[in-house]
Amino acid sequence: MIKYKTIGLSLFATVNLFALNINEAIDIALTNNYSLKQQEYIVEESKVGLDSSKASYQPKLDLKYSYNNRDRLISGQIDEDSTLSANLSYNLFNGFSDKYNIEASQTSLNYSKLNLKAFTEDLILNVKNIYITYLLKEKNTQTLYEALKLYEKQYFDSTNYLEQGLIAQNEKLQVEVEMLQAKQNYQKAKSERKIAKKKLKNILGGKLDELNNIEELKNSAIFITNFDIKQLETRSEIKALEQLIENYTNKSKIIKGNFYPQVDAQLSHNSYGDDLSPTSRDNYPSSQSIGSITLNWNLYNGKKDDLSIVANKKKIKQTQMRIEDLKLQIKLQYEESLEELDVAKLNLITATKAKEQAKINYEIVKNKVQEGISTNSDLIDANYLLTKSKQNYFSAYYNKYLSIATLQRVFENSSSR
């Protein structure tokens, strides 16, 4: 998954630099992210719940042993007795509650799977955001380092100009102050870059080494921008809520099963004894088998079942409103993402031109300072504008990719790689 690049240090030694690209980062996160694993275990739990609900169609087998020792006897009793019973029971009818219980468990499983899909899409977007943010921090660090070097060169030149009597002491001090501020800015940028890499490591489940090189972005399929508007209606979050409605419907049907009688069949085999061992008892057969069918019908339970059904209907209505609200939110997400992408593209065009102009401006001002036409203050301003233009350019460059990544998430195409 991770590519290896080797750089020769000498005839006898080499060092491996691990280069990680954004596709590999996503794959690692999908394998190792702890939050995603939690969601996967929720799905596994739902699968167990479905299997458990199917157990209702299986017979039940119980083994029971009892022993009694009495200090006083009632007519017909003996001092000691024991009974060993094996009971096989099976529910013949319970108002179809078992059937709808299985269907409810299935919708719960579907709901958890769809939530997992939505979580996965969110995770992929987060990986992209954190990955791209790291690249931006890296570029910002590089930009501020370049600015510092320019200030150091200007300070060196100012020292010579001061010795030659070409500038005043305060001009040199002004350059020195800006140089020291540039050092602070560079150090802060390095710290922010370090934290950004730690965040990337965390979302990858800790699977990132300090030696890992983070590769630059490439115009690959991971940033496609072809979408079908119809996909907005089939987002996994919407489908998950639809499954939740089905779940509430099935739970109401389970409750309605209480309005019907329950019919159970039972077969038991018993052995009796007049001591601890259930092998024989006077006036009892050596063993006895009993078959029975019982019918149980609750005629009134204080309208508890009726109220539970009403409560489920209210939950269905709530979920329907959630779906309609979610559709509006998704549509707004789509429109915002499109606008952000258009703005990002325009910003990149403007930032590119501004960076080119700032480079040319710095060279012009630098030459003028050397000729004594401009002052060090002018060069400080030119350096500031150059640094700012570079930062704006990289911000616009990466914001374009962040906007595309967000748009992919809206359409659940984040995993298109």
pLDDT in tens, 165-216: 888 899 999 999 999 999 999 999 999 999 999 999 999 999 888 777 899 9
Quick one: angle between helices 97-163 and 34-54, nearest 10? 180
Say how far apart CA 403 and CA 417 lie, in whole Å: 16
Share of the chain above pLDDT 90, in %: 78
Q: What is the mean pLDDT of the chain?
A: 90
User: What's the average model confidence in pLDDT over 344-356?
Assistant: 96
Say how far apart CA 223 and CA 404 lie, in whole Å: 6
pLDDT number for residue 13: 31
DSSP codes, 126-137: HHHHHHHHHHHH
Write phi, then psi, for 17 (nearest 5 degrees).
-110, 125
Among the listed residues 356, 338, 353, the one whose alpha carbon sits nearest the alpha carbon of residue 400: 338
* Assigned token pair, 248: 């509430």
Domains and CATH numbers, the chain: 20-58+96-259+301-410 (1.20.1600.10), 59-93+262-296 (2.20.200)
pLDDT in tens, 400-417: 999 999 999 999 876 544
pTM, two decimals, is: 0.85
pLDDT number for residue 5: 36
pLDDT number for residue 76: 83
User: What's the average model confidence in pLDDT over 390-398?
Assistant: 96
Q: pLDDT category, 219, cuts 50, 70, 90?
A: low
User: What's the average model confidence in pLDDT over 107-121?
Assistant: 97
Say how far apart CA 46 and CA 51 lie, in whole Å: 9
pLDDT in tens, 261-304: 999 999 999 999 999 999 888 888 889 999 999 999 999 888 99
Say how far apart CA 179 and CA 150 lie, in whole Å: 9
Encoded amino acid at 211, one letter: L
Encoded amino acid at 238, one letter: I
Say how far apart CA 173 and CA 386 lie, in whole Å: 21
